[in-house]
Chain A
Amino acid sequence: MRARRSGMVMAAALGLVTVAGCGGADGGDGQGASASKGGTLHVLSSLDLEHLDPARNYVTSSEDVGRLIYRTLTTYAAAPGPSGGKIVPDLATDTGRPSDGARTWTFTLKAGVKFEDGRPIASRDIKYGVERSFAAELPEGPPYARMWLAGARSYKGPYKNKHGLASIETPDDRTIVFKLNRPVADFGSAVSLPIFAPVPQDKDTGVRYDSRPFSSGPYKIGDFEPKKQLTLVRNTHWSPATDTVRKGLPDKVVIDLNLDPAVVDQRLIAAQGQDADAVAFEPVGPASVGPVMANPAVRKRLVTGESINTRYLSINTRHKPLDDVRVRRAIAYALDKDALRTARGGPIAGQLATTLLPPSLPGAVTDDPFPSPGGKGDPAKAKALLAQAGHASGLSLTLDAPATAGGQAQGEAVQASLDKAGIKVKINAISSSAFYSTVGNTAQEHDLVIDGWTPDWPGASTYLPLVFDGRLITPEGNNNHAQYGSANVNARIDAIARMKDPAAAATAYGSLAQQIMRDAPVVPFLWDKAAVLVGPHVTGAYGHIAYVGRLDLVSLGLRK
Chain B
Amino acid sequence: MTATLPAPVPSSDTPPRIGPDETSLLRRLLAQRSATVALAVVVLLVLIALAAPLIAWAAGSSPTEFHSDAVDPALGGLPRGTGGGISTQHWLGVEPGSGRDILARVVYGARVSLLIALLATAVSVALGTALGLAAGFFGGWTDTVVGRLMDLLMSFPALIFMIALISAAPGVNRQLLLVVVLGFFGWPYVGRIVRGQAMVLARGEFVAAARVLGASRRALLVREVLPNLSGPVLVVATMSIPSYVATEAGLSFLGVGVRPPTPSWGQMIAAAVPWYAADPVYFLIPGGFLFATVLAFNVLGDAVRDALDPRSRRR
Contacts and interface: CB of A to CB of B under 8 A. Distances in A.
Contacts of A288: 76, 274, 277-278
Given A266-B277, A412-B261, A413-B66, A346 B76 contact: yes
**From A287, A376, A415, residue with most partner B Cβ within 10 Å:** A287
B10 to A, nearest CB: 58
Interface stretch (A229-237, A305-313, A336-344, A509-517): A336-344
B66 A405 contact: no
What is the predominant secondary structure among interface residues of chain A facing chain B? helix
Given A293-B74, A346-B75, A287 B96 contact: yes
B76 A415 contact: no
B73 to A, nearest CB: 3
A427 B259 contact: yes
**Chain A residues touching B, range:** 35 or more
Interface residues of B, number: 28
Nearest to A338: B68
A261 interface: yes
Given A261-B274, A415-B260, A293 B75 contact: yes
B284 to A, nearest CB: 15
A405 B170 contact: no
A290 interface: yes
Contacts of B71: 342
A429 B255 contact: yes
B66 A336 contact: yes
A85 interface: no
Interface in A421-451: 426-429
A408 interface: yes
Contacts of B273: 262
B175 interface: no
Nearest to A411: B260
A417 interface: yes
A285 interface: yes
Contacts of A426: 259
Contacts, number: 103
Contacts of B278: 287-288, 290-291
A416 B274 contact: no
Given A376-B68, A409-B97, A342 B77 contact: yes
Interface string B274-285: 110111000000
B21 interface: no
A348 interface: yes
A12 interface: yes
Interface in A346-405: 346-348, 376, 403, 405
A16 interface: yes
A342 B97 contact: yes
Contact of B96 (A266, A286, A294, A408): A286
Contacts of B177: none
Interface in B47-103: 64-66, 68, 71-78, 96-98
Shortest 5 CB-CB contacts between residues of A and residues of B: A289-B76, A346-B73, A286-B76, A290-B78, A287-B274
Given A286-B274, A291-B278, A409-B271, 18 more contacts: A16-B74, A286-B77, A287-B277, A287-B278, A288-B76, A289-B76, A336-B66, A339-B98, A342-B71, A342-B98, A347-B73, A408-B260, A412-B98, A413-B98, A415-B261, A416-B66, A419-B64, A428-B170
13 contacts: A286-B96, A288-B278, A290-B78, A291-B277, A291-B278, A339-B98, A342-B77, A346-B73, A403-B255, A405-B271, A409-B98, A413-B66, A416-B261
Interface of A: 12, 15-16, 261-262, 266, 284-291, 293-294, 336, 338-339, 341-343, 345-348, 376, 403, 405, 408-409, 411-413, 415-417, 419, 426-429
